[in-house]
Chain A
Amino acid sequence: MLTLILRQAALRALAAVPTLVVVTACTYVMLFAIGDPAAVVAGESATPQQVAQVRHSLGLDRPVIAQYLDWLGNAVRGDFGASLHNRGTVLDLIGQYLPPTLLLSFLALTAAVLASVLMGSAVGSRPGGPVDRGLGAVAVLGIAVPNFLVGYVLILVFSLWFRWFPAGGYRDPAEVGWATALQFLTLPAASLALGLMCVQMRTFRASLIKEYEGDYVRTARMKGVSPGGVFFRHVARNAAAPWVTVIGLEVGVLITGALLVESVFAIPGIGTLTLEAVQGQDFPVVQALVALCALVILAANLVTDLIALWLNPASRGLS
C-alpha cells in the first residue's frame, strides 16, 4: 500500500511540473514583456535613452523566451534574482518576511481543523437538532463575512472594548517569548480561521450524514458495535476523506485571507511584502511570490489527495 501511495505521489508531482511552468511563464511575460521593469529602475525622470541603456544592462532587450528560460534555470537552483529597488536578493527578502505568515497560517489552519472536527462530528451525528440548526446558521454567516471584516470586529470587541489583545503588530517569539507573541497573533489567527472552520465544518457534517446512511453502518450496529465504535471505527474515517480534500482546496483561500488579514493587523509577512512589491512594481519579487504561491497550492493539493487516498481503502485497489 505504501508503494502505491508513493507511486501516486511521484506521478502527481510530475503532472504538476508543466502547470508550474505554464503559470510562471505567463506571469513572466506579463511582468517583464508587457510591464516595463527598465522604466521602473531608471525612474520617472529618465530619458528614453537612459531607459534603453538600463534595459540593455539588465538583459531585458533579449527575446522574452530566452529571459524566461534564464529565470527558470536560476529559479530551479534557488536563485530568484534581486529586487529592483536595492532591497537585496529576492530569496533573502522572502526568508525575512516568511516567518510571521507561516506562524499565522499554521495557527489558523490548526484551529480551524480542530474546531471543525469537533463541531462537525457533534452536529453530523445528530442532524436536524437545535445545535445543528444554530451552528448551521453561524456557519453560513461565517462563510459570508470577509475575513478582514471579521478582523475589524474582533479588534473592536476584544482590543478596544475589553482590552484583552493588542489591536495589531507582530512580535518575534524568539525575542519576546511565546506568550507575548501568541497574544499578538490570537486575533489575526482567529479572523483567518473563522471562514475556513465554517467551510470545513459543513463539509465534515455533510459527509458524516452521508456515511451514516451506508449499509455497513446498519451491519455494524446489528452485530452490536457501540455507537462510539461505529463513529470512530467506521464512519469518521470514511467521512474524513472529502473533508481532507476540501482542506487542500482551501489553501488558496488561506493565502488570500492571510494577505488581507496581515494588512488589517499590520503584520510584516508575505502579504505585506506582496503588496509592497506590487505597489513599487518590484517585478522579480512579484514573479517569485506568484511561483511560490502556485507551488504551495499544488503541494497542498498533492498532500491532501494522498491522505484522502490513504483514508479510503476503496480507491487503493486490491493491493
Chain B
Amino acid sequence: MTEVVATGRPRSTGILAGLGVTRALALGFVLVCLAVAVAVPFLPLGEPNRQHLGDTLASYSAEHLLGTDQLGRDLLARLLWGTRTSLFAALTAIAVATAVGLPFGMLAGYRRGWVEAATGRVADVILTVPALVLLLTVHAALRSGITGQMVTLGVVFAPRIYRVVRTETVKVATLPYLMAGRMSGCSHTRILLRYLLPGIRAQSLVQVSYLLGLSLLIEAGISFLGVGVESPNASLGTMLSGAAAMLASAPRVVLIPAAVLSLLILSLNVIGDIESKGERRG
C-alpha cells in the first residue's frame, strides 16, 4: 500500500515504450508555457481585465486573435496571463512541498528509527484529508488568498515527496558507493548532499513533475469554484468559472483554456511516466 501511495498514480509499464517523440513534445510544450509565463508582461497584449461591453463573445479577429469572452475581455491576453498565474501558483506549491518533503525524507531514510516513525505518522495524518477539501477549509477560516492557499497545498503535498525521497534514500543508502563514502570518513552532511542527493534526484524529479500537474489541477479546481484566484484576475481556473452558460453560444471561451490546462497536465504526466520507466531499477 505504501508503495502505491509513494508513486502517486500507478505508472505505465509499456504503453508508451518507444514513444520518444511524445516525451520530447511534452517537454517542449511545458517549456514553451513556462517561457510565455515569464515573458507575458513584455508581450504586446491588451489589458487582460479591461471589458469591452459592446464587443462581447466576439469571434476571431485581427484585434482579438482568439476573440473576446462574455465580458468582452481579450481571450488571448487572459489566456497567457492566466497560464502565468496558474503556473506560478503551482510552482509555489511545489517549491514549498520540496523544501519540506525533501530534507525530512532524506533524514528519515538515512537515520531510520524514531525520526522515520515520527515523520511517517505526520505524513499519514496529512494524507487523510484530500487537498481540495483542506484548501476549502483553510479558505473558510482564513480567507488567505491564492498565495496562502498554494503554500498550504505545498504542505499537503510534502508527504508525497517525503515518501518517494524516503523510499529512494533507503534503497541508495545500502549501495556500495555510499558505504565507501562513509568509510573514507565523510561527514553526514557531506554524505547527504554529495552522495545521496544525486542518487535520488531522478525519482524525486518524476514525482515533482507529477505533483506539478496535480497542483495545476487543484488551482484550477479552487479558482473554478470561486475560492482561489480572485475574480477578475485570470487564471486557467477562473477562466472556466461560470463558463457553462457560454457553452451553447461560444464553446471556444471554455474549450481554449480547458485545452491548455489539460495539455499542460498531460505533458507533465507524460514526462513523469517515461522518466520513471527509464529509471526503474530491477
Contacts and interface: CB of A to CB of B under 8 A. Distances in A.
5 contacts: A23-B125, A27-B137, A31-B140, A146-B262, A286-B137
B128 A297 contact: yes
- For chain B, give the interface size range: 35 or more
A123 to B, nearest CB: 9
A249 interface: yes
A38 B30 CA distance: 46
B124 interface: yes
Contacts of A199: 9-10
Contacts of B140: 31, 35, 277-278, 281-283, 286
B4 A245 contact: yes
A102 interface: no
B141 A34 contact: yes
Contacts of B13: 206, 209-210
Interface in B240-254: 240, 243-244, 247-248, 251, 254
B133 A148 contact: no
Contacts of B133: 255-256, 259, 274, 289-290, 293
B258 A152 contact: yes
A247 B22 CA distance: 29
A294 interface: yes
Interface stretch (B61-69, B97-105, B265-273): B265-273
7 cross-chain pairs, A with B, having the tightest CB-CB distances, nearest first: A136-B15, A35-B141, A144-B266, A252-B130, A278-B140, A256-B132, A145-B262
Interface of A: 19-20, 22-23, 27, 30-31, 34-35, 127-128, 132-133, 136-137, 139-141, 143-146, 148-149, 152-153, 155-156, 160, 167-168, 199, 202-203, 206, 209-210, 242, 245-246, 249, 252-253, 255-256, 259-260, 263-264, 274-275, 277-279, 281-283, 286, 289-290, 293-294, 297-298, 301, 305
Contacts of A305: 1
Contacts of A206: 10, 12-13
Contacts of B32: none
B131 interface: yes
B15 A140 contact: yes
B67 to A, nearest CB: 17
A22 B1 contact: no
Interface string B6-28: 00011011111000000000000
A23 B128 contact: yes
Contacts of B247: 152, 155-156, 160, 167
B142 A144 contact: no
A202 B11 CA distance: 8
A74 B62 CA distance: 64
B227 interface: yes
Interface string B27-46: 00000000000000000000
